Amino acid sequence: MTYNPFQKFSWKLAHGRSLELGPRGVLMAIVNVTPDSFSDGGRFIDAVAAVAQGMRCLEEGALILDIGGESTRPDAAPVSAEEEQARILPVIAALARDTDALISVDTYRASTAQLAVDAGAHIVNDVHGLQREPDIATVAAKSGAGICVMHTGRGREKLADVIADQFHFLDRSLEIAAAAGVERDRIILDPGFGFAKDTDENLELMARFAELHRFELPFLVGTSRKRFVGAVSGREAADRDMATAATTALLRVAGASIFRVHDVANSKDALAMADAMLHARAR
Q: Which residues are catalytic?
A: 226, 260
d(CA 227, CA 39): 10
* 3-class DSSP assignment, residue 222: coil
Nearest to 169 by CA among 136, 141, 201, 132: 132
* 3-class DSSP assignment, residue 20: strand
Please give the span between the terminal C-alpha atoms of the chain, in angstroms, as a whole number.
Answer: 20
194 in Cβ contact with 227 (< 8 Å): yes
d(CA 61, CA 28): 9
Amino acid letter, residue 38 = F
Give Cβ neighbours of residue 255 (< 8 Å, ≥ 6 apart): 5, 6, 209, 210, 213, 219
d(CA 198, CA 229): 11
d(CA 22, CA 258): 9
Provide the sign of the torsion angle of the four alpha carbons 118, 119, 125, 126, taken in this order: negative
Provide the sign of the torsion angle of the four alpha carbons 55, 58, 63, 66, taken in this order: negative
